[in-house]
Amino acid sequence: MSSTAHDPISEMQDLVRLAAGEAGSIKERISRAARRLDLKFSRARDLYYADRRCRVGADELERARHTAAAMRGTSDEFEELATLLSRMELLAARLDEKGLGDMAHQVRRAQATSRRALAASDGAR
């Protein structure tokens, strides 16, 4: 990350890009960051590109830091869920091998439902 304690524009750029995630077009990313950080699209765009004409107030920077901290904590849970979903597929395969196809089918259904929920909650982070 390029932020420093003395450069609020760079720090805000980092925070906006974190909130933007990696999925979708640039416009979709900026829109996502605007929603997450409660900014207007044009403001999020200017910060995404670190427009030096921007001024960042202490309150705005602190709100963005707080949101980013919450997102970082949540990303740990997303990673854990993704690991569990992978393990569910291995479990289903073992159940199939043991002739427990009905149970394997139920595990795969639960896995598919969980994957959809993960994607809907902003998946593609």
Q: What is the pLDDT of residue 2?
A: 47
Whether the predicted model's global pTM rises above the 0.75 cut: no
Question: DSSP 3-state assignment of 98?
Answer: coil
Q: Are 52 and 13 in contact (CB under 8 A)?
A: no
pLDDT over threshold 50, residue 62: yes
Q: What is the pLDDT of residue 75?
A: 62
pLDDT over threshold 80, residue 87: yes
% of the chain residues with pLDDT over 70? 84
For 17-46, what is the mean pLDDT?
Answer: 90
pLDDT over threshold 90, residue 6: no
Residue, of 78 and 108, whose pLDDT is higher:
108
Q: Are 37 and 53 in contact (CB under 8 A)?
A: no
pLDDT over threshold 60, residue 124: no
Question: Using alpha carbons only, what angle is made at residue 72 by residues 70 and 76, rounded to the nearest 5 degrees?
Answer: 115
Domain ranges of the chain: 8-120
% of the chain residues with pLDDT over 90? 32
pLDDT over threshold 60, residue 66: yes
For 9-37, what is the mean pLDDT?
Answer: 89
